[in-house]
């Protein structure tokens, strides 16, 4: 458990990729703060499970990722109650799909705020604590869309490209402080959110389940396999190891070959 004695915040971590990230860090002994929305009982069950897994504290914080003061308060709470934070993972994200001339302004603003600006506020608040310890790991969940575009996803693609640029900039600013700053760019990840879209797509397009998976969802991934949340989490855990101390400013793909072309 090489992260024993360290603490982490994972945003957007009450389910899906974020929860897998939190579990992977807890399995290595880290005290973890999870964040996000959902059923209170379900969240408490996950929080208790993380504490049991790590043998350390686990906290839940309901900070709204559109509100800078709540983000800063969550980082301060992690420092006051757990020490650190030594690791932050910017994972919170939302999506909306529409042509640019029909894209709702409120959806654009929300996607930029949650997918990009929240990462800036997390980094801004956490870096001073990391500098004081001369050790830190900042990881953001980007996307294959941080490298390539798709139609009707103007806000999401803009935000994820922004995560790439923010990652590189803060990596340079912290390069001599024992802090690494990287982003992980998955392709389509197999989560309940993706799985639940399949029946509607089958009905709307008159396709079989296999056709939806291979010809729609996995059309861009040459391996024709989904990335799993656990694979993303394992990548993040590696970036926290001492062996990854010289990996910084990187945008690391885990996309089944999507961006290889």
Q: Which residues are the active-site residues?
A: 156
Residue closest to 111 by CA, chosen among 89, 90, 91, 96: 96
């Amino acid at each position: 458990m090489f992260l024993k004695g360290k603490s982490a915040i994972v945003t957007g971590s009450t389910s899906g990729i974020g929860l897998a990230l939190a579990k992977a860090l807890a399995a290595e002994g880290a005290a973890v703060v999870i964040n996000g929305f959902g059923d209170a009982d379900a969240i408490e069950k996950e929080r208790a499970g993380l504490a049991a897994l790590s043998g350390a504290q686990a906290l839940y914080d309901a900070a709204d990722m559109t509100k800078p003061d709540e983000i800063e308060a969550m980082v301060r709470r992690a420092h006051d109650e757990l020490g650190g934070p030594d690791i932050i993972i910017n994972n919170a994200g939302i999506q909306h799909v529409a042509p640019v001339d029909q894209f709702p302004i409120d959806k654009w603003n929300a996607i930029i705020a949650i997918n990009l600006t929240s990462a800036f506020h997390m980094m801004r608040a956490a870096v001073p604590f990391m500098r004081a310890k001369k050790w830190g790991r900042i990881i953001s969940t980007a996307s294959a869309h941080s490298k390539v575009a798709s139609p009707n996803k103007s806000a999401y693609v803009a935000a994820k490209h922004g995560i790439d640029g923010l990652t590189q900039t803060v990596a340079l600013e912290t390069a001599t402080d024992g802090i690494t700053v990287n982003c992980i760019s998955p392709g389509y990840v197999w989560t309940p959110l993706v799985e639940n879209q399949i029946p509607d797509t089958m009905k709307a397009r008159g396709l079989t389940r296999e056709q939806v998976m291979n010809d729609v969802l996995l059309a861009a991934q040459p391996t024709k396999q989904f990335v799993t949340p656990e694979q993303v989490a394992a990548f993040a855990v590696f970036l926290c190891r001492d062996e990854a101390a010289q990996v910084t400013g990187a945008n690391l793909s885990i996309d089944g070959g999507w961006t290889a072309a």
